[in-house]
Chain A
Amino acid sequence: MRNILVFIVRYHFLLLFLLLEIFSITLLVNSTYYQSSVLLKEGSRITGRFYTSISDATDYLKLRTTNEHLARENAMLRQMKGVSFLKNDTNSFWVHDTVYKQQYKYIVSKVVLNTVGKRNNYIMLDKGSRSGIQKDMAVITSNGIVGTVVNVSENFSWVMSLLNKHTRISGRITKNNQMGTIVWNGIDHLYGTLTDIPAHVKIAKGDTIVSSGYSYIFPAGLMIGTITDFRVEQGEHFYTIPFRFSVDFNALQYVYVVNNLMKDEQQALEKSMEGLKDE
């Protein structure tokens, strides 16, 4: 016993170092664990308020671009409204429409913290579970996909942006409907990489990449980017396709959080399929 105490006193510097290091790295690696999510939640209660007041002040500097974005989007929405369509079928009338059922709901939210320079980038939003945001919801802007919600507190939420090592989103080239995976190589926040497209497919610079819709998170057909280059690495059977993001991650301000109202139904169905596969 005495020897252990002597050992601890003698090597306390090294032992404390190892202890703190193990604690920190556990926090970092297991960021999905309950303890760290509580720490992040309680932390964002303070830091979130702090960042909100900072961004309240700096928002005035960006009013012009924000207005431009809103005006452009308003114009687009106005085009979709019923009054801008000429009815050319006089035999049918709009009655209570049961053909369409709402699948996606959109929650507008403000970015209070954002980085683009790290290998793994995250975004903080000023709304949380109280506004209906949950984990695994999509985050988009009028220009395209931004990321997915990974952690929610009462009034704030953390979003993993596409500029992250762990991002894997399925994308589709609109021209030939080929499916691939979107990844980010960590070099430039303007460019991402599309992989898993077979080398025999014909593609061209300037083709657009949109979300495939093969997930519970992202609606189909959301813009991701435009192809700037493509090549097949030696010995590979798949293209490496750098593309330019349609979203400027460095200028994010207002975003929409997408709530898939049918997610539970879709997941329940998939779960029942898993049961079938096992048998």
Chain B
Amino acid sequence: MNRLVINNIFRFIALVLIQVLIMNKINFYGFLNPYVYILFILLLPFETPGWLLLLLSFTMGLTVDLFSATLGLHAASSVFAGFMRPLIIKMVGEKPEYDITTQPKLQQMGLKWFMAYAMLMVFAHHLFLNMLDVFSFDEFWQTLLRVVISTLATFLFIMLFEYIFAAKKEK
């Protein structure tokens, strides 16, 4: 249990650093903004109580906000992603009951499950974030394009990270 907490703290710090140092600098005609920090919310254990899930999501979002001058934007979107997580897990399929330590990870839940789960989570988060940032329906198609492109980018990065860590664990 203790190991799990330390792992998550480490993941939190690493993802904030990756987000603000590398991902925030990526821009491709202004449409591609990967937000990989939500991997933290994705990988929290199944047993995380609801209030803790929301508070942790909020902390993550606010930390990223402080580093990118968008006070409240990432916090609101992360809390939304945290709120959607139980619903999305229910949608994609419940966890198998055989082991209490099972986490929503690629190597434990299988490729198909994880891909569906990650894609839905990332899309929910990015849609909320971009709609909130633009704050009007005037430029709806442009915003949607932004959401789709960024979602694909974030999704690719998340799959990449998961594969790197999965490969490491198997050694």
A interface, CB within 8 angstroms of B: 12-13, 16-17, 20-21, 23-29, 31, 36, 39-40, 43-44, 46-47, 50-51, 54, 113, 115-120, 122, 124, 158, 165, 185-189, 250
Contact = CB atoms under 8 A, between A and B. Distances in A.
B68 to A, nearest CB: 7
B51 A43 contact: no
Contacts of A39: 66, 71
Given A17-B83, A113-B69, A186-B142, A165 B134 contact: yes
B50 to A, nearest CB: 4
B30 A116 contact: yes
A20 B58 contact: yes
Contact of A21 (B26, B62, B80): B80
Contacts of B72: 23-29, 31, 36
B27 A36 contact: no
A222 B130 CA distance: 33
A187 B79 contact: no
Q: By CB atoms of chain B within 10 A, which of A23, A27, A118, A165 has the most?
A: A118
- Size bracket, chain B contacts: 35 or more
A117 B69 contact: no
B154 interface: no
B30 A187 contact: yes
A28 B66 CA distance: 12
Interface of A is mostly: helix
Interface in B19-68: 21, 24, 26-33, 50-51, 54-55, 58, 61-62, 66-68
Contacts of B132: 25, 28
B73 interface: yes
Contacts of A16: 50-51, 54-55
Question: Which A-B residue pairs are the 5 nearest by beta carbons?
Answer: A117-B27, A28-B72, A27-B72, A24-B76, A13-B50
Given A13-B54, A40-B66, A187-B142, 8 more contacts: A13-B50, A17-B54, A20-B54, A28-B70, A28-B71, A36-B72, A117-B28, A117-B32
B75 interface: yes
B26 to A, nearest CB: 8
Given A20-B75, A28-B76, A117 B51 contact: no
Nearest to B61: A24
A189 B30 CA distance: 7
A105 B70 CA distance: 30
Contacts of B75: 20, 23-24, 27
Contacts of A51: 67
A21 B31 contact: no
Interface string B69-96: 1111101100110110010000000000
Contacts of B139: 185-186
B79 A24 contact: yes
Given A20-B58, A43-B66, A186-B142, A27 B134 contact: no
B81 to A, nearest CB: 11
A155 B75 CA distance: 25
Contacts of B51: 12-13, 16
A118 B30 CA distance: 6
Contacts of B79: 17, 20-21, 24
Contact of B73 (A13, A28, A54, A188): A28
Nearest to B49: A13
B30 A47 contact: no
Q: By CB atoms of chain A within 10 A, which of B33, B55, B75 has the most?
A: B75
Nearest to A165: B134
B29 A115 contact: no
A186 B50 contact: no
B58 A31 contact: no
A119 B133 CA distance: 7
